[in-house]
Amino acid sequence: MKRKVHVILKKEELLAKKLEGKTVVIFDILLATSTIAAALQQGAIEVIPVKNEEEARNKAKTYKPDEIALVGEYRGKTIEGFFDPSPSTIKQHVQDKTVILSTTNGTVAIHNAEKAKHVYAASLLNGEAVASAVCQPSQDETVLLVCSGSSDRFCLEDLYGAGYFISCLLQLKTFYLTDAAKAALLLYKAYEHSSLEILKHSVVGEMLTQYGFLDEIGFVSRKNVYSVVPKVVKKKLVNGEEMICLK
């Protein structure tokens, strides 16, 4: 029996009760999942995704200052005292450190999906590597691709990323695609060689361009340049609290 692939257009549509036994792949192409891939590829020990600035600062208190890198934005603006979550520049801040990452959408989506059997973070940068992991014989669950979106709105670049990921999956195995998955794949095939244009002309892409981050869009529009596979793992803390991180 073929595994099913379905696409959810924004994180707010995720229902915890429907995640049991499923493999979930999160996309926030601009920029959270691209930043996660870059941080781990560039030597971060792990990435702890948090829902907001307050949670990030509280998590930071449980580490020594030289053990962590606080990275984050809220509504496109870098949080005061945090490093900018830019995949192209994050290397200088994350080597051998735990990254505590707060973003408006992507890190929230990861938390929303934590009840799933497996949760991955994917981008154009590492799509093939994550697709290969999802296709391993030990995994036979329905694959749910989640476009993070932006503040309860659908994002074009995330659907394009999901379409690229589906094309990677289909090079490895045969899957049953829902109509939403077929739509993502059709979008990707129509603009397969125009990833920069798609990202640049999305609403978030236009906002980032206005903020002076056009080079960043170009950086994350590249496909299959990272081999890292960020996957959510759960850690027990000394006080008994459970925390999720990506490794």
Name the 3-class secondary structure at 68.
strand
Position 140 scores a pLDDT of 78
Token code pair at residue 211? 């903020």
pTM for this model (two decimals) = 0.97
Residues in the chain predicted with pLDDT less than 50, given as ranges, are: none
Position 131 scores a pLDDT of 98
Position 212 scores a pLDDT of 87
Q: Would you tell me the crossing angle of helices 179-190 and 156-170 to the nearest 10 degrees?
A: 100
Position 137 scores a pLDDT of 82
DSSP secondary structure code for residue 231 in this structure: B
Position 232 scores a pLDDT of 98
Q: Which residue carries 């739509």 as its tokens?
A: 183
Residues 31, 87 contacting (CB under 8 angstroms): yes
